[in-house]
Amino acid sequence: MKGAFKTIASMFHQADPKANFAFEFWDGERVCYGDPSRPGAVTLRLKSPETAKQIIANGFLGFGEAYMDGSAELEGDLQALMRLGLRIGFDRTPPSPRQKLSLWLLRMATRNTTCRAADNICHHYDRGEDFYVLYLDPTMTYSCAYFRSPDDSLEQAQRQKYEHIARKLLLKPGERLLDIGCGWGGMLIYAVQNYGVTAVGNTISRSQYEYARRTVKELELEDRIEVVCEDYRNLTGKFDKIVSIGMFEHVGKKFIRVFMQKVSRLLEKGGLGLLHTIGKDAPSASDPWVWKYIFPGGYLPTPDEILREMGKVGFSVLDLENLRLHYARTLDLWIENYERNVEKVHRMFGDAFVRMWRLYLHLSSAGFKYGESRLYQVLFSHGLNNELPLTRDHVHVQGPV
């Protein structure tokens, strides 16, 4: 097992000769490259030969589980280790036949059918608002922010994201807006307060639903905002504009067409829609650790998959923007908030959860900086709309938010 890790260390060094890292084995032996004591360096400690075997046999899934249970410890910059792992493709270690069977069973058990989708969403989002408030901004926005400057606060950047979307959608007073997967209600509230629309939002997270309803009531917006606890497949009505922010990742590959068909029935002819989703440039296997512990049933679509199904239902794609580095910055700010409140998280959920969520946040940030993760905003119309501006000036004009 030591030999395998020494080979990995050599691969790390070849991928980035300036990296500072070390592997420390159960008997005290160390393999070092650079200076592991420098800022930004990382040391991975393996407590037993069994831990090393687990990681070699199961790739990132094995590492994630070893980190969660404490049999693998890290000192220093966790994201630096994620970066090196992504550089050599350690997250894409081919699964063994046994793993393939296990992953297939997991995939079947977490397919986003109408019956199963709520359980998948509950797994991630229904941990209670007391947890999410520890690292999100005051708008409780759990998606990529939009930074006009690296110095923007998280709250400011999230409001700028809502404004960026509102401008793309050309929101106007009196229009009906649908937010599919509205989360804790941030976009609904922003659009109603700043653009005079009436809005409907849905979520299948009971925690999000109750929070959004309570906030809408506190702001006295009940006559203009309706929040429903309902699967998107069961929504009815007609809307001038539709937005979906950070929900499409939960639809699942088998249901992309179902989603597009549903949106086509909800969106008025000539109406505009915007899909804001994590994705990948090209197809690749889902990460088994993320799938098992973080987002059961999740799938990161490619632009090809999105645009092909949009075209089949008569949508005309107007714009595609990649906000990759905006999401990396968002995640880094979430990490800062999380670590400031990590003792509270520990009291709420225990050490294994603290490690799991820390790994999830750092892995996600590294994925946007160094890996395959992208953040797409796709603007589309239902059929042709000949009344649109000829340029994007209306989107990028500067002004207060």
pLDDT of residue 112: 66
pLDDT tens profile 344-358: 999 999 999 999 999
User: Using an 8 Å Cβ cutoff, are 322 and 372 in contact?
Assistant: no
Q: Is the pTM higher than 0.85?
A: yes
pLDDT of residue 117: 62
Find all residues with CB under 8 Å of 355, minimum gap 6, and list them. 67, 68, 70
* Mean of the per-residue pLDDT values of the chain: 92
| β-pair type (315-322, 373-382) | antiparallel
Same CATH fold, 117-396 and 2-92?
no
Of 258, 247, 284, the residue nearest 367 (C-alpha): 284
d(CA 130, CA 5): 40
Q: Please provide the CATH number assigned to the domain covering 117-396.
A: 3.40.50.150
The number of residues making up the chain comes to 401
pLDDT of residue 206: 93
Average pLDDT score over residue span 145-149:
97
Q: Where are the domains of the chain?
A: 2-92, 117-396
- Compare 25 and 297 and report the one with higher pLDDT: 25
SS3 state of residue 253 = helix
pLDDT tens profile 153-212: 999 999 999 999 999 999 999 999 999 999 999 999 999 999 999 999 999 999 999 999
Percent of the chain with pLDDT over 70: 90
pLDDT of residue 102: 63
Of 120, 60, 53, the residue nearest 95 (C-alpha): 60
pLDDT tens profile 66-115: 999 999 999 999 999 999 999 988 655 555 666 666 666 666 666 667 65
pLDDT of residue 292: 87
User: Using an 8 Å Cβ cutoff, are 74 and 43 in contact?
Assistant: yes
Handedness of CA 333, 339, 344, 350 (dihedral sign): positive
Q: Is the confidence at residue 365, as pLDDT, over 90?
A: yes
Third-level CATH fold of 2-92? Nonspecific Lipid-transfer Protein; Chain A (3.30.1050)
396 confidence band (pLDDT: 50, 70, 90): confident
- Compare 94 and 36 and report the one with higher pLDDT: 36
Q: Is the confidence at residue 275, as pLDDT, over 80?
A: yes
State the Cα angle at 200 between 328 and 255, rounded to 5°. 60
Q: Which helix (H) or strand (E) holds 119?
A: helix 117-125
pLDDT of residue 118: 61
